[in-house]
Structure 1
């Protein structure tokens, strides 16, 4: 009974501490329940289809949220424990055993946990409709969302948070049994570290910290040039992790040492430094930053990673949609052999609005490519040729194609699928050799928006002049039909158009090509010419059709779930980082209560003390926030150097949300901080 009373009294007397803890838990319960409820929404699962593993993906998202909330609660629990060490020591002095003190902790956690579960589940049931609507929106589904009570999701949520509460209780028990009675009364003394003057160590390590951060920022602007001498996609994609490592180490040194340099420089202005309470603000802030360097470093990197991941996931979503556009620029792209059948099926439901036949010729060719200043590679393989006038006809119904103007008869433009993703990584020699002694002079390359390369044997394509196209004699020629239909957003029309047609490989070609004294020798044919076992003849096939809507729907569903999970996890991470800072400042306020009361007795007005509190907290909150935003900006800049995309803009929008969250946290924290230090014991 006494344990329950002590726990309830502790919660009531220090409700401002537990309010942050409780709000974070309620927020986590609400999100977790909503995720699990979506996984059991049969209407939504049926709409998504079996090819998209919605339930498994939402389980993964729920697991990610559980990991984040466990980290949050363990961190906050550590702050609570460090703040109450003297209270625990008093409990021991009056004869309470450690298991009884652990019971007080468990009772407090139980009170908070039960309250959070009840409120969180209630909000989860209410807001699960909103969560479902957001998911339906990002997946472009056409179903209605409704409020449903999911008992399986509720049971899983209760089980998950009971496990978390038990884990926190074990953590509290471990902390309690790790300290001896005398340690409880010495803990504050260990934390009271003061730095009166700038040392050589601080100067050196502080400059190193700034240097590491600047090195990471410079890396983000020169990632391609740095990778030029020894290009490797794995190395290139690992550079973001190098940026994180540099910024993490630099951030730690910044809060541990660089801040002393900045305050020392600030103190050189004597008139400004000794005016009012400026000196006191500087000294107190320096001590806060020094003692909380580990926490502030973690929060800064947490913010940077959260914003970077949000921007990266949005970019990944954008690139996925752009990939569908690249491979399916029109509603249908089909082989000429299938066009008649598909046309009859379509005319039963709707009509074809635009169509263009694409006539290709396949010929043996040889060209040289260089991957970012590495050794040049010579490739001898079949090349698709398309006449420039045919290309321009295709432009009329395919707005993604870049304009092409050829200067000479033997000029050509390379269609380069690498330009759809990585930028400026591959360069080509201007001369391309073809069989029959033909030569082409390339005038550059453009992104590949002709359609799925599988319909073109997955081989290189070049746009050539009409004169040269007509001059080429080859037995390997084929035709594709690109067309759009009326009401192309109706999936039933797509199903009707493809009725009785299966996606399959067709039209094989056979080739054997080699480099003979600087010229291309061999053949490309629709019939095999293999005459011996030693022959090096190759065989390739092409796909018979692609359609945009099924691919677009599948991509939207698949990437929409991914974006949905990352977005909510990122927002939760931002909320958690602000909550940790708030709890930390509350703990600091309890420690410094006597200091502020002494200032009041010395004649410092309440208004000046309030200004001191607000100035100190604005540095503690906004310094890691701004530094995290800078880290995220340059991380996104690095990704944009490698894979350009408009999706990164979501990271910048998330910065606005972060600033709003931190302004709210700052205002609430500063107000409660002042109330704590100004109230009597």
Structure 2
């Protein structure tokens, strides 16, 4: 009799378990696919990226585990709360609480076993697709074969058992603390929360005020940082400002759900008495209050997930933009190395060529870090003649047009200009050993990898200044070939040139009494004189190598975090659906009564629609607003980054929640009406 009663109870809740089951299947599939890719043989064939790939996939798996734990604990809690009447019946039949717990735990284990088997089967089918997407994202030309990993299956099973163990412990705690008077207390709480005291209305207003202050602070982020930077330093000003904005948004969000929405739904308006709006507001008032902590947490986590994805996309775009700075043409190499392979190049490829002449001199240019002081250290500075720069623009069109106002004018090329231009300030005055120059403007450096040269600072100067300044002259050859000949060029370089650090120089410079003295000479004498500055330069850099290295790491990061965020969006939408459906059985009587009172079917459908709408979309919209302002802060710090990818996920988030909203609405309408 008891077994039949338990089975009947389970079948009655089977539809509620269905969404839980499908979400678990999806999560197990993604976890298994990531674990399979970690062990897959194709990764072992790319030894230079294997460690990074395994580490990133392991990080992605760990994030998915935390998402799964959050989902399973939240879902199981409300599935149990939805069966309070069953607990009472089992208790009346003489079952002890630990026996009732065992019944629920066996149900969860049964659902977990089905989810594990289905997720593994789907993972086996889709892991190859995920591997292909990963290889495409990393731009690796490897053939993907079917691969089954027993260790991935074992690892997925162990993780699922651990999570089911946590859920079982939670089940035992919830059932053992269950009280038969809970139902009566809930009805009392419905009446109690319908009215707000004065201090509660104050908190409702405070929630909105904190949100507006947080968002406004994001808009004026740079101004706030500049105001704090002298007191707290560069790092401290940014840290405290970000923490302050985040704290105000978090507190404001929880107050918004706990009091602001409660006040909004409880207000009385003329339109509130039409089309059952009063009833829907009453239900939304109670539901928003009961779910206030959950909705607040989902809102904050959705905002953080989108912001994290936006930061990752920004770093990827910076990394890929840096490829053009690092290798503006197909190949840049030391002149001696070029002369070694020039006869072979003439025979094998068609190319454009230009020789760039640089000169390394001793110099000093102050660099100010706001709030951190001024760096005033003499070091080598590279010079390039204006005529050479202008000729190279034909091969590298990304270079900015440059003209000099006077013989002592210079244009500074720096890779920091695209990212930190609002924070790091270079002095306009540049002191050389035998002359002073004035920087008239700063531009992005598209003259190749800085390792090809000796100095971090590069100045475009007049031809006369270049010729008359004493220093060490060296040459770099720029080679440009058609895209279809990139592979041939790199194969020739790999066969004939070994990557190495070459031609060391030593700078013995002093800055005293606003005067620069000393010289820069060839050779490494750093061991003989520790006070000197020694520098080497690399002998070549290749666009194809730079592109593949950056594309591999950036594609891997974007792939992992995209799947993690997508999993989180689907899991949270599933959790909202479960919470909405958790008390559907209790609402049946109310809708039957409304139907008997003659309420039209269309009005009842609108009531179900509004109740679902008020639960699904507030966390989506508020989370997207939080993320939008967080991305706006990032765009002020890193202006050169591209954020279109995260804005695409704004649409994906809205679409996913809309799908779950519609399915929940249709399913609930079918059950209630």
Compute the TM-score of the two structures, normalised by the length of structure 2.
Answer: 0.93
Change (3 A) 1:622 1:530: closer
Change (3 A) 1:380 1:445: same
Change (3 A) 1:567 1:48: farther
How large is the Cα RMSD of the aligned pairs? 2.6
Query: How much does 1:567 deviate?
Result: 0.4
CA distance in 1, matches of 2:279, 2:182: 28
Contact 1:70/1:164 (CA < 8 Å) preserved in 2?
A: yes
**Residues 602-636 of structure 1 deviation map (CA, whole Å, 9 limit, x = unaligned):** 33223212211111211211111111111111111
CA distance in 1, matches of 2:464, 2:184: 91
Q: Say which of 502, 509, 529 aligns to 1:506.
A: 502
**Residues 126-181 of structure 1 deviation map (CA, whole Å, 9 limit, x = unaligned):** 222221121111011223334443333233323332332233222212222234x5
Q: Say which of 373, 383, 397 aligns to 2:395.
A: 397
Residues 606-617 of structure 1: matches in 2 within 5 Å? 606-617=601-612
Contact 1:574/1:658 (CA < 8 Å) preserved in 2?
A: yes
Contact 1:86/1:184 (CA < 8 Å) preserved in 2?
A: no
Query: How much does 1:400 deviate?
Result: 2.4
Q: Does 1:553 align with 2:548?
A: yes
Change (3 A) 1:648 1:59: same
Q: Say which of 515, 521, 534 aligns to 2:511.
A: 515
Change (3 A) 1:8 1:502: farther
Query: How much does 1:347 deviate?
Result: 4.8
Q: Does 1:456 align with 2:453?
A: yes
Contact 1:202/1:260 (CA < 8 Å) preserved in 2?
A: no
Contact 1:324/1:551 (CA < 8 Å) preserved in 2?
A: yes
Partner of 1:412: 410
Residues 89-168 of structure 1: matches in 2 within 5 Å? 89-168=88-167
Q: Does 1:629 align with 2:624?
A: yes
Partner of 1:28: 27
Change (3 A) 1:344 1:9: farther
Query: How much does 1:34 deviate?
Result: 1.3
Change (3 A) 1:316 1:125: same
Instruction: Tell me whether 72-81 or 222-231 shows the greater mean CA deviation.
Output: 222-231
Instruction: Tell me whether 643-652 or 483-492 shows the greater mean CA deviation.
Output: 483-492
Partner of 1:651: 646
Contact 1:193/1:287 (CA < 8 Å) preserved in 2?
A: no
Q: Say which of 250, 255, 258 aligns to 1:256.
A: 258
CA distance in 2, matches of 1:492, 1:207: 67
Change (3 A) 1:194 1:650: farther
1:520 partner SS: strand
Residues 79-478 of structure 1: matches in 2 within 5 Å? 79-179=78-178, 181-182=179-180, 185-186=183-184, 188-189=186-187, 191-192=189-190, 194-229=192-227, 230=229, 231-233=233-235, 235-236=237-238, 239-263=241-265, 267=268, 269-270=269-270, 272-347=271-346, 350-351=348-349, 353-372=351-370, 375-436=373-434, 438-474=435-471, 476-478=472-474
1:540 partner SS: strand
**Residues 498-523 of structure 1 deviation map (CA, whole Å, 9 limit, x = unaligned):** 32533322222222223344332222
Q: Say which of 636, 640, 643 aligns to 2:635.
A: 640
CA distance in 2, matches of 1:275, 1:337: 86
Q: Say which of 525, 534, 554 aligns to 2:521.
A: 525
Segments of 5+ residues of structure 2 without an aligned counterpart are: none
Task: Give the ranges of 4+ consecutive aligned residues of structure 1 lying more than 6 Å apart after TM superposition.
Answer: 528-533
Instruction: Tell me whether 223-232 or 64-73 shows the greater mean CA deviation.
Output: 223-232
Contact 1:39/1:45 (CA < 8 Å) preserved in 2?
A: no
2:470 partner SS: coil
CA distance in 1, matches of 2:527, 2:297: 68
Partner of 1:55: 54
Query: How much does 1:586 deviate?
Result: 0.8
Q: Say which of 575, 587, 592 aligns to 2:587.
A: 592
**Residues 426-465 of structure 1 deviation map (CA, whole Å, 9 limit, x = unaligned):** 23333322211x2212111112222221222243111111
**Residues 78-121 of structure 1 deviation map (CA, whole Å, 9 limit, x = unaligned):** 11122222321221111112232122112211221222122222
Partner of 2:614: 619
CA distance in 1, matches of 2:387, 2:120: 63
Change (3 A) 1:378 1:331: same
Change (3 A) 1:97 1:561: same
Query: How much does 1:58 deviate?
Result: 2.0
**Residues 52-85 of structure 1 deviation map (CA, whole Å, 9 limit, x = unaligned):** 4423432332222122111101100111122222
Segments of 5+ residues of structure 1 without an aligned counterpart are: none
Query: How much does 1:367 deviate?
Result: 2.5
Query: How much does 1:376 deviate?
Result: 4.5
Contact 1:345/1:499 (CA < 8 Å) preserved in 2?
A: no
Query: How much does 1:366 deviate?
Result: 2.6
Aligned residues: 669
Query: How much does 1:531 deviate?
Result: 13
CA distance in 1, matches of 2:14, 2:527: 88
